[in-house]
Amino acid sequence: MEKVRLKSRQWLEDSNGNMIMGEGRQRIFELIEETGSINQTAKLMKMSYRGVWGKIKATEEHLNKKIVLSEKRHGSRLTEDGKRLLKNYARLKKECQKADEEIFKDIFK
């Protein structure tokens, strides 16, 4: 039998199933921090500016927190809440993947 491995993904959604945070939004927020630009982030993600902005706004509305701060002179960056969200989501993914791997090993010895 070929080596079998587990693949899993984690995302956050509201009680209606609307996406709050997932791998795509994680990448958007990381790129905003790296580039300082929503426009550049959209280009790198091969998305429209409006599409990226819509995902940012949806996350902000669901969490009732400002995640991205945009200023004409200084570009865009994550707020402290945005940085915390990004850090906590990365930690969640890491911890879930570690737990999933342990369960997988236990079941598929």
Distances from the Cα of 5 to the Cα of 96, 99, 107, angstroms: 15, 14, 12
- Select the CATH number that applies to the domain covering 20-107 from these four: 1.10.1060.10, 3.40.640.10, 3.40.50.1370, 1.10.10.10: 1.10.10.10
DSSP state of 56: H
> Which element (helix H / strand E) includes 26?
helix 23-35
Question: Rounded to an integer, what distance in angstroms lies between the CA atom of residue 63 and that of residue 98?
Answer: 26
pTM value? Answer: 0.89
Q: What are phi and psi of 69, to 5 degrees?
A: -105, 125
**Per-run averaged pLDDT (10 residues), the chain, 109 residues:** 82 93 97 97 97 97 95 93 97 95 89
Domain boundaries, the chain: 20-107
Residue 89's φ and ψ, nearest 5 degrees, are -65, -45
Q: Around 40, how many Cα atoms within 13 Å sit in the side-chain half-sphere? A: 12
Instruction: Residue 97: count other Cβ atoms within 10 Å of its Cβ.
Output: 15
Altogether, the residues listed in the chain come to a count of 109
pLDDT, position 52: 98
